[in-house]
Amino acid sequence: MMLTAGLLYLSLFALAARMQRHRPVLLGSWHKRPFVRHMEWAGWLLFALSLLSLWRSADPGMALVAWVGLLALLGGGIMLGMTYRPTWPRMGVPVASIMILSGLILPA
């Protein structure tokens, strides 16, 4: 589930960072780089990968329910972070990357 949560967080972050009004807040000085226009594709790809990562679980039905719950939790966390403390969603990117690596290494 750590792999799924990390992929889902990065996908929501990338989709939010692709929006013009959120880009300077989320990306800081990187918001004028040429890779920004590809962040939407990366966000949707990570979103699909988070769904595909559920196949590793023993009970895919319960994993899908947990994915929907994670979607609401992480989306709300990013939204509240952008509202009150804009640096907090940026600090979640390395944490999500570590979650993805540990989710790939540790068994499901």
Contact 4, 67 (CB under 8 A): yes
Angle separating helix axes 60-84 and 2-18, nearest 10 degrees: 40
**What pLDDT is attached to residue 46?**
93
Query: In the chain, what are the domain boundaries?
Result: 2-105
At residue 30 the predicted structure's pLDDT band, cuts being 50, 70 and 90, is low
Give the single-character DSSP code of 57. S
Is the model's pLDDT at 33 over the cut of 90?
no
pTM for this predicted structure: 0.86
**What pLDDT is attached to residue 98?**
94
Residue 52, number of CB atoms within 10 A of its CB: 11
Tell me: the pLDDT tens digits for 41-75? 889 999 999 998 888 777 888 888 999 999 999 99
